[in-house]
Amino acid sequence: MKDPSTADIDERLKAMLGFLEKMTLEPGRLRKADGKALRTVGLSDGEIRDAIRVAFAFNLITRLADSFDFEIPTSGQFAKGAKMITKFGYKI
């Protein structure tokens, strides 16, 4: 999926991905209206919180990885990790 705004996906997911992109790239531009728009398409507060928490974790890890010059896994390592995530989910 190159552009979620034009992808053939559920409107709720499309809205959430747009929100998370704004949260990641332009957090200072987030307003109450952004959260209200998510509720308007049918997302619950719990669903919104869950998505924000996952995005926050990824954003934090990415910033730390960039700051400390973490080694980037090979495509094989990414594939192995994807299989584990698919099987077990994002359990902390």
Q: Which two tokens stand for residue 34?
A: 């952004």
Number of residues that this document lists for the chain:
92
11 vs 15: CA distance, rounded Å: 6
What pLDDT shows up at residue 27? 95
What pLDDT shows up at residue 9? 92
Amino acid at 55: A
Question: In Å, how far are 24, 52, 53, 54, 76 from 92, measured between CA atoms?
Answer: 22, 15, 12, 11, 23
Question: Domain residue spans in the chain?
Answer: 11-88
CATH number of 11-88: 1.20.1290.10
- The conformation of residue 42, written as its DSSP 8-state character, comes to T
Confidence class of residue 1 from pLDDT cuts 50, 70 and 90? low
pLDDT tens digits, 27-86: 999 999 999 999 999 999 999 999 999 999 999 999 999 999 998 889 999 899 889 888
